Structures are given as structure tokens and as C-alpha cells.
Structure 1
Amino acid sequence: MWLLPRTHFPSSSSSSSSGSLCRVLAILSFLLFAVALLATPAAASRGDRLPEFKDCVQGCKEGNCLSEKTPLPLHLRLLLWNCPSECDYACQRSVTASRVGSGQSIEQFHGKWPFKRLWGVQEPFSVLFSILNGHVHYAGLKSLKRELPRSYPLYPYYRLFSIFGMFCWLWSTVFHTRDFVFTERMDYFAAGANVLYGLYLAPIRIFRLYRPTYARILRIWGMVCIAAYAVHLFFLLGVRWDYTYNMTANVVVGSITNILWTYWSIRHYTRLKSFWAAWPGLIVMWLIMAMSLELLDFPPVAGALDAHSLWHAATILPGMWWYRYVATLPLPTALSYVLHFALLSILPSPCPGCHVHYVRPC
């Protein structure tokens, strides 16, 4: 293992780091933007076919969107709400309130529950939790750059992990702010890329593929992952947009990653008898339990908090736990302040009493 004082680590220019990060995110966004333009609209939900909903939308459009359009507030127009979409939202809320009042079930519209928006944001809690998840990766990346030496063999892979994480949660935030076909596709593509990168990283760390002797194997493994992602996009855009397939593909890839980290944790905990060696396996268990929220879908509580938003909330602490595992990195930034100290109260430092930086053994 390495026990290095922080002064041994080279510093980097914040401006050049920020510029490099922006370029990476811009390239990823541009590539997925190109394929997302090929997307087609999804099928309607049960709520869309309700006669009262259709009549409401038609009447609203005829009364407000034809000759003299009813003006919308600026904050709604900034988020690309227009008269027809405003009618659609108003009728969703009206029909839902009427059904709840008469003891009927709440139905989905356009594949989503009828949420109460906030300042034009369609799913406020999912947006909030997506921002917090993205912030964990952003703060983690800053800490990695500050704490880890550039000579550390896993540094570039951990850095990419942070970038893919930020990219994923950026598009999750955009999608839950305003649901369009394009933002939905970008959210799905970014999430798939993030999950697949997790699978790419696991064998590199677990089987030490970063070593020069495994250079050829590492290149092959990288090409396999890139090819798998390309085939995934081709199927969704060129063959059939299939929500079930997309979910299954992500679950399968994520499950393989979880199995690898569980194997690593069991092996190293058995050998080292150190609690930190079991952390990846415990993180996996947390995520598996949190994933059950996606399977237990239910109408949003108070029109705002649903299972999907709770799933986003449940992934915040595991992300912080991961960065703490990588190099015992705290995240003392504003948005994660409370969560950070909640985590510290649960997880003792793997190096109690140390006054030097601790990096995990290779």
C-alpha cells in the first residue's frame, strides 16, 4: 500500500482541468445527441386514452390556443412549455383530481405519473436527487485530482468513472425537468453508458488489468465494451425502441458488475480481515435493495414523491461511500455536507489515527 503525505502529490491547474472536463462532457453529449435525433415517439398510456382527458385537452386547446393564445409566465416559456403542453398538464391534474375524488385509480399519462410541477419542473424530487447524485461525482472528481498522484495506475479510470457519473446524472436532471422524446433518449443512453463503464472498470480494478503485462487484454476488453454499447444503441434506434429490453440490458450488465465486486469483497475480506475490504460488496447490497424501489412502482405521494425519485435518493450515499472507499476522500462541499457527516457517523475511517493520505493497495 501507499502511505503518502499530501505534499507528495502534484497539483494541477483548475482551469485546465475544468476545460478538459467540459470537452469530455461536450463530446459525449454531441455523440449521443446525434443518435437521439433518430428517436421516435413512444406509445400512449392508459390515461391518454381516457375520454374525459381527450375532451379536456381538446376543449382547452380550442379555448386557449387557437385565435387568442393565453400568455404563459416567463419561467414556463423558458422551460419550453407552450399552450398545448400547458393544456395537457392542466388536464392531467384536473382528470387525476376528479378520479381521486370519485375513488378511482390514478392513471399514467404519456408513460409517467401526473406529477405536480414546481416552477415548470415536471418531477421536482427526481431533479433534486439527480443533482445531488451528480454533485457527489463532481466533488469526488475534485477530490481525486487533489488527493491522488497522477502516477497511481487507477487514477485515469477513476477519473473517467466520475465523468461518466456526472454525464449520467446531468441528463437525468434534464429529462426529469422536461420530458421530451429527445431528453428521454439522452437520459437512457447516458445511463446505459454509465452502467457499462462500471462493468468496464470492475475487471480492471479486480484483476489488475491496468498492468503493462495485460495491455493487449485491456485493449480487447475496451473494444468489447464499446462494441456492446454500439450494438445496444443500434437495436434501440435501428430495430425497435423497447423499454423492457433497455431495462433488462442494464440490469444484466449491472448484475455482472455487482457479482464481480461481491467476489472481490469476499476474497479480500477473507484474506485481510479488514472491514474496508468488504465495502464494495456492501455498496452492491445497498444498490440491490434500492433497486427494488424501481420494481415497486406506485403513484406519487402528494403528487410529487414516487418510487423512481426515491431510487435516485437511495443512490446518493452509495456514491459517497464509493469515493470514500477509493481513497478515503471526504466530500466537504455545501450540497453534500449533511450527507457526508451522516456517512462518517456510520463508517469509521479505515485508517484511524493516520495523519497522512491513505490510498488503497493495488
Structure 2
Amino acid sequence: MRLFSRAAYVASVALVSLALLLGPANASRGDRLPDFKDCVKKCHSTHCLSDPPTPIPLHLRLLLWSCPSECDYTCQHAVTASRYDAGQPIEQFHGKWPFVRLLGIQEPFSVLFSILNGYAHYRGQQTIRRELPRNYPLVPYYRLFGLFGIVTWFWSTVFHMRDFVFTERMDYFAAGASVLYGLYLAPVRVFRLYKPHHRRLLRVWTCVCVAAYVAHVYYLSFIKWDYGYNMAANVVVGILQNSLWTYFSIKNFSQKKSLWAAGPGLIVTWLVMAMSLELLDFPPLWGCIDAHSLWHAATVMPAVWWYKYLIVDAKRHMGGAVVGGSRFKE
């Protein structure tokens, strides 16, 4: 675990450094609309180049809204309202729908659900500390899983509060790390790689996962920032870990004939159904709830359920030979 912890720390530092070097995101169709361009140009000339410039409220300045970004936001909604009245389709701007902000927060519901997801991981970590003995061999892996989850949802919260190049990259890289750690954890539990006689295999698996993540970040940072590739990579990693947990669930359920044993498979099913929301992309209802925010809402309960499963699984696991003062069933 020390090897993985050091590698994760180095990767995190590199991640922040790389994200700072990245360029702007690609434009959307809405950005190219003549009405939008004219609106932004006139607004900038009237409010930003005037002497003095139009003042920005404090609560907006705290979230780094400036006069140009205010013009951008105002024009997005002016053009969207005009197109809606004319019966024309709503377009995205800068890769996002024109959300109605709240106190300067760009996507209020995605922020809310990201916070709830992070809180689910935080409470799950508290439960693991309270319910499981420190010498239980999987505790370090579960705590790292929670740490990745908290960091991922922190950056998701920040990104949905204010969409900058830096916050977008951190959101993507943190999510990628979390998904990859999920794949890393699956064989550790399913094939019991935490056992001493698997130490060499565990080191190899650790190095493979760290190398894969570093290569992933390097490609996106220095070769090509490719949204399609990033999505495909996460889907492939997700399918691999979901397949392992499904196999583990079927095997355990067939042996134990107990519903708790099928927990990982049921959670995987829930998450796959939740991810289908991403395929139903639609303009935000009431200007604030879209498919992406609903996807974030749908992942809260699986996180809560997952930690409950880990506790039950560990307690049933601790029923055989005495190891360091606790009983473990292998």
C-alpha cells in the first residue's frame, strides 16, 4: 500500500501541474451563432469598456465572474429566450446548456448532488473506521476508495460551480482516477490479492494501474485533449470492473443463497441504469435540471449501499482463523 500511496501522491501533484498547462475547450454551436457574437460584442463595449466599467456584485466576484463572463452569461440567456420564442431549438454554449445560475453557481443541482455524493463517501469512511478493526486487511483499500471518491466529488462540485479549463480538467482527471481505482480494487477483493502470497502479483497490478493512469493523463495533456477518447477509456475501465463485481456477486449468491451476497451486482446494475441518463441529454428543465444532474442524483444511493455492503461483507468475512486478534474467514 505504501507503493500505491506514494504513486498516487506523485500522480496528484503531476495532475495539478498538467491541468494548469492546458488550453481552452472547444466551442459549441451556440458560440458560433451571429446573434450571440453580436450580443457579446455590444455588451462588452457598453459595460466592460466604459469608464468606469459596470460593477459586478461581490457574491459574483467571489466566484470569479468578470465583466466579460457576465456578458457571456447574459447573452446566452438573451439568445436562448429569443430562439425559444421563435420556436427554434436551444443550443449549447461552451459545451454546456444555458443554465440559470444561483448566487453565481453555474449548475446548482449538479453542485448539490455532487456534494451529496461526496458526503456519502465521507460518511462511509466514518462507518468503516467505526465498524471495522484496523488490522482487517481490506481496510486500507477501502479507505483509499473513499478518499478517491471524496476528491472526485469535490472537483465535480468545483467544476459545476464555475466552469474553467482548470476545473474541467481536474474534474475529468479526478473522475478517471476514481474509476481506475475501482478497477484496481475489484481484483484485490475478488481474487484476494491482499493476501501475503499474492504480494508480488499485487505490486505488478499496482504498477500497471498507476502506469495506465499516468499514460492517460499524459495523452490528454500533451498529445490530444479528446473527449471521445476520455469517455471511451472510462467506459472500458468501468465495464471491466463491473464485470468482475458481477462475477463475484453471482458466485457468492450461488454459494450463500443470500441477497446481501449479490450486493455488488445489484449496485452495478443500478449504476449502469443511472449512466443511461447521460444518453438522454436534453435542455435543462426550468433552466437548472438536466440529464447530467439527474445522473449525479442517481449515484448517491449506490454509494451509501456500497459502504453498507462492505461492512456486511467484512463482518461475515471475519469468522474464521484468528489473525492479529480478529477472526477472518478465508
Q: Verify: 1:59 aligned to 2:42, yes or no.
A: yes
In 1, Cα distance between equivalents of 2:174 and 2:61: 26
SS at match of 1:299: coil
- Kindly indicate whether the alpha-carbon contact (under 8 Å) linking 1:44 and 1:110 is maintained by their aligned counterparts in 2: yes
Deviation at 1:35, TM superposition (A): 1.2
Q: What aligned pairs does 1:49-198 form with structure 2 within 5 A after superposition?
A: 49-67=32-50, 68-198=52-182
Residue 336 of structure 1 aligns with which residue? Answer: none
- Matched AA of 1:83: C
* CA shift in 2, pair 1:79/1:361, >3 Å: farther
Q: How many residues align?
A: 313
Q: Verify: 1:204 aligned to 2:192, yes or no.
A: no
Residue 225 of structure 1 aligns with which residue? Answer: 209
Instruction: Give CA deviations for 1:112-138 in whole Å, capped at 9, x if unaligned.
Output: 000000000000000000000000001
- Matched AA of 1:189: F
Residue 320 of structure 2 aligns with which residue? Answer: none
* CA shift in 2, pair 1:287/1:121, >3 Å: same
- Kindly indicate whether the alpha-carbon contact (under 8 Å) linking 1:137 and 1:165 is maintained by their aligned counterparts in 2: yes
Instruction: Give CA deviations for 1:179-206 in whole Å, capped at 9, x if unaligned.
Output: 0000000000000000000000000000
* CA shift in 2, pair 1:27/1:69, >3 Å: farther
Residue 258 of structure 2 aligns with which residue? Answer: 274
Q: Verify: 1:216 aligned to 2:200, yes or no.
A: yes
- Kindly indicate whether the alpha-carbon contact (under 8 Å) linking 2:47 and 2:67 is maintained by their aligned counterparts in 1: yes
Instruction: Give CA deviations for 1:270-327 in whole Å, capped at 9, x if unaligned.
Output: 0110110001000000000000011111111111000000000000000000001011
Deviation at 1:30, TM superposition (A): 3.6
In 1, Cα distance between equivalents of 2:123 and 2:108: 22
In 2, Cα distance between equivalents of 1:43 and 1:190: 21
Deviation at 1:360, TM superposition (A): 9.2
Q: Verify: 1:300 aligned to 2:284, yes or no.
A: yes
In 2, Cα distance between equivalents of 1:28 and 1:241: 18
In 2, Cα distance between equivalents of 1:25 and 1:63: 49
Q: What aligned pairs does 1:218-257 form with structure 2 within 5 A after superposition?
A: 218-257=202-241
- Kindly indicate whether the alpha-carbon contact (under 8 Å) linking 2:11 and 2:214 is maintained by their aligned counterparts in 1: no
- Matched AA of 1:214: H
In 2, Cα distance between equivalents of 1:214 and 1:223: 14
Tell me which stretches of 4 or more aligned residues in structure 1 moved more than 6 Å.
23-28
SS at match of 1:191: helix
Instruction: Give CA deviations for 1:106-159 in whole Å, capped at 9, x if unaligned.
Output: 000001000000000000000000000000001111111111101100000000
In 1, Cα distance between equivalents of 2:15 and 2:258: 42
Deviation at 1:64, TM superposition (A): 0.3
Deviation at 1:31, TM superposition (A): 3.4
Residue 312 of structure 1 aligns with which residue? Answer: 296
> Which structure has more RCO (C-alpha within 8 Å, separation ≥ 6)?
1
Instruction: Give CA deviations for 1:216-236 in whole Å, capped at 9, x if unaligned.
Output: 000000000000001101110
* CA shift in 2, pair 1:218/1:24, >3 Å: closer
5+ long unaligned stretches in structure 1: 1-22, 330-349, 351-358
Q: Verify: 1:45 aligned to 2:33, yes or no.
A: no
Residue 272 of structure 2 aligns with which residue? Answer: 288
Instruction: Give CA deviations for 1:24-76 in whole Å, capped at 9, x if unaligned.
Output: 99877543211101211122100000000000000000000013210011000
Deviation at 1:328, TM superposition (A): 4.3
Task: Tell me the TM-score normalised to structure 1 length.
Answer: 0.83
In 1, Cα distance between equivalents of 2:233 and 2:307: 26
Task: Tell me the TM-score normalised to structure 2 length.
Answer: 0.91
